[in-house]
Structure 1
Amino acid sequence: MILAIVVAFFVGAISAIFGVGGGFILVPVLNSALGIPMNIAVGSVVSYVLGPATTALLYRNVQWTSWRLPLILSGGLSVGVFLGGSTLNFFTHSETVSIDAETLVLRVYLGLLSALGMFSLWESERATRFRPIPRGWLNRILLPPVIRIRDWNNRTLSVPMFVWFGVSVGFLSGLLGISGGLLIVPGLLYLFAVDAQKTVVTSMVVVWLVSFQSTILHAWSGNVDIKLVAALLAGGTIGARVGSSIGRRLGSQQLRRNFGILAICTAIFVAIRLSISASR
């Protein structure tokens, strides 16, 4: 458990520096470096994330009006979390499939982190050239029913597109043990062109909803190790304080570029772990 505290400290610091959840680093490291079974790593990490997510929500004093977009997403998120968690349990306990849960999760992590890392590097490079990426890619697809959101500059929103976005985020969260903020922030910014400030608040609410739902699902399935969660909370809390002071000194473009490098490095670590497993 001491190793888990040390890992959580460094991951907590990294999370605070970049303003993202640390699940995308914690799950591969706990599984690959500390030998914790994949289903336990996923379930324990989402339970750990629920603590900081609750604290952040209370500290920010989020108003009820800020729950509108998350509540529209909540139906899709719930379905996605259930499907993701059920998929993990199926591959964990099934003897009829040729791929186990560990390999499945690591492969999905490899693809997701590679895509996010390359996108962050591309986006930061365009920003330095004053050529920002066009936003609102999915706003052009207005599948009925369509609603108009007053707090969103009275723009229209396709409910099916938004719900399916929630299903996708929830599925990956339930399967991988991530909080959802890693996907929600770029998704709202670039797919739906939501204002940056509203994106941050919406992401905080969504992270809490996803963490709460995932914790219940994985606890019900027996995937949560309470001692491991306590160790992660102890190390992550201290690390977050250290990382916050470092993050204030970095510019936004530098943060995006460094996050892209971090995601690519994590993807390389996962790829090495997969290649070692394949060679056995």
Structure 2
Amino acid sequence: MEYLLLAVIALCAGILGSLVGLGGGVILIPATLYFGINLNFFPDITPQRVVGLSVIMMIFIGLSSTISYMRSKQVDFVSGLIFFIGSAPGAVLGAWLNKGLNIDSFNLYFGILLIVLSAILFVRDKLKPIHWFLEHGLKRSFTDRQGQTFEYGYPIWFAFVFSFFVGMISGLFGIGGGSLMVPAMVMLFRFPPHVAVATSMFMVFLTSIVNSLSHIYLGNVPWHYTVPVIIGAYVGAKLGSALNKRLKSKTVVLVLQIVMVLIGVRSIIEGLV
């Protein structure tokens, strides 16, 4: 029963994570902790082990999504590699910092993070891109299927610094770095939204490999739970990337924001109480 439940959780995480470029950890982690600790479905789960499970899952969400987005030529591989170079050492640092969190501290900080991410998602469509980053950095362009060309860009030094911070958050909490990278890519660097999501998932794939190696070394991966999570996440990511090409994701993002706020408030209360 617990393996089927994990597969369903991972399926939902894969769909939402791939659809809006978040990576899926914001769904898997609170759901697994709730069913594992509160309902005792997974009695051996801890914050460290659920983060280890999440980063393994995100390898396959990132891989599945990247393959799908490659076919529609939405992935900016150059930018993804630049962001990865910055995020990889941050992920290692975050994994090391994670070992010092108990369940109360993890719930408190994770809840605060979810509310911050929800606020970022809420304002990302309302803020205008900052032209300074395009004018003072590496310039890129993308032409969509309708023949419209978009120009975007960023200073490489800033990309390294920002992605290091994103990688650290990813390693610490086991969430995909896309939850921070996608809004930054759209608002700061003027990425077209679909390119931002696709490139984010490529970066999530690469960073999750480094992230998972760190958590494997620290003994944080519950291997007996990985198979149902991998299968559910891979299938979910395929469905999410397919929906991304067909649907306007504003409604999905709104639902996700509400869920993140509710989970975040609950996590903060649990952490404090």
Superposition RMSD on alpha carbons, in Å?
3.2
CA deviations 1:45-88 (Å, max 9, x no partner) are 11011112112222333779822112222232112101101111
Q: Evaluate the alpha carbon distance shift between residue 192 and residue 13 of structure 1 in structure 2; reply closer, same or farther with a 3 A threshold.
A: closer
Partner of 1:121: 122
Following the alignment from structure 1 to structure 2, what is the Cα–Cα distance between the partners of residues 65 and 271? Answer: 36
**Stretches of structure 1 lacking an aligned partner (at least 5 in a row):** 92-99, 125-131
**Residue pairs, 1:216-231, within 5 angstroms:** 216-231=213-228
Q: What secondary structure is seen at the aligned counterpart in 2 of 1:134? A: coil
**Residue pairs, 1:92-103, within 5 angstroms:** 100-103=101-104
Q: Evaluate the alpha carbon distance shift between residue 154 and residue 137 of structure 1 in structure 2; reply closer, same or farther with a 3 A threshold.
A: closer
* One-letter code aligned to 1:186: P
From 29, 33, 36, give the equivalent of 2:35: 33
Range that drifts further, 27-36 or 232-241: 232-241
Partner of 1:22: 24
From 244, 253, 259, give the equivalent of 2:250: 253
For normalisation by structure 2, the TM-score amounts to 0.79
CA deviations 1:197-247 (Å, max 9, x no partner) are 331232121111111111111111111122211121234455557777887
Aligned length: 256
**Residue pairs, 1:1-280, within 5 angstroms:** 1-2=2-3, 3-15=5-17, 18=20, 20-35=22-37, 36-61=45-70, 66-89=76-99, 91=100, 100-122=101-123, 132-136=126-130, 139=133, 147-151=137-141, 157-237=154-234, 251-275=248-272, 278=273
* One-letter code aligned to 1:43: G
Displacement after TM superposition at 1:187 (Å): 1.4
* One-letter code aligned to 1:206: M
Q: Evaluate the alpha carbon distance shift between residue 248 and residue 74 of structure 1 in structure 2; reply closer, same or farther with a 3 A threshold.
A: closer
Range that drifts further, 72-81 or 2-11: 2-11
Displacement after TM superposition at 1:175 (Å): 0.5
Q: Evaluate the alpha carbon distance shift between residue 83 and residue 17 of structure 1 in structure 2; reply closer, same or farther with a 3 A threshold.
A: closer
Following the alignment from structure 2 to structure 1, what is the Cα–Cα distance between the partners of residues 190 and 74? Answer: 22
Following the alignment from structure 2 to structure 1, what is the Cα–Cα distance between the partners of residues 171 and 141? Answer: 30
Q: Evaluate the alpha carbon distance shift between residue 167 and residue 18 of structure 1 in structure 2; reply closer, same or farther with a 3 A threshold.
A: closer
* One-letter code aligned to 1:134: K
Following the alignment from structure 2 to structure 1, what is the Cα–Cα distance between the partners of residues 69 and 240? Answer: 19
Q: What secondary structure is seen at the aligned counterpart in 1 of 2:28? A: helix
* One-letter code aligned to 2:105: L
Following the alignment from structure 1 to structure 2, what is the Cα–Cα distance between the partners of residues 136 and 216? Answer: 36
User: Any conservation in 2 of the 1:23–1:177 contact (CA below 8 Å)?
Assistant: yes
User: Any conservation in 2 of the 1:24–1:109 contact (CA below 8 Å)?
Assistant: no
CA deviations 1:178-200 (Å, max 9, x no partner) are 12121111111112222323312
Following the alignment from structure 1 to structure 2, what is the Cα–Cα distance between the partners of residues 223 and 207? Answer: 19
Following the alignment from structure 2 to structure 1, what is the Cα–Cα distance between the partners of residues 209 and 238? Answer: 23
Q: Evaluate the alpha carbon distance shift between residue 49 and residue 136 of structure 1 in structure 2; reply closer, same or farther with a 3 A threshold.
A: same
Range that drifts further, 155-164 or 70-79: 155-164
Q: Evaluate the alpha carbon distance shift between residue 191 and residue 227 of structure 1 in structure 2; reply closer, same or farther with a 3 A threshold.
A: same
Question: Sequence identity, in percent?
Answer: 24
Q: Evaluate the alpha carbon distance shift between residue 81 and residue 258 of structure 1 in structure 2; reply closer, same or farther with a 3 A threshold.
A: same
Partner of 1:94: none
User: Any conservation in 2 of the 1:85–1:171 contact (CA below 8 Å)?
Assistant: yes
Q: Evaluate the alpha carbon distance shift between residue 57 and residue 270 of structure 1 in structure 2; reply closer, same or farther with a 3 A threshold.
A: same
Q: What secondary structure is seen at the aligned counterpart in 2 of 1:149? A: strand
Q: What secondary structure is seen at the aligned counterpart in 2 of 1:151? A: strand
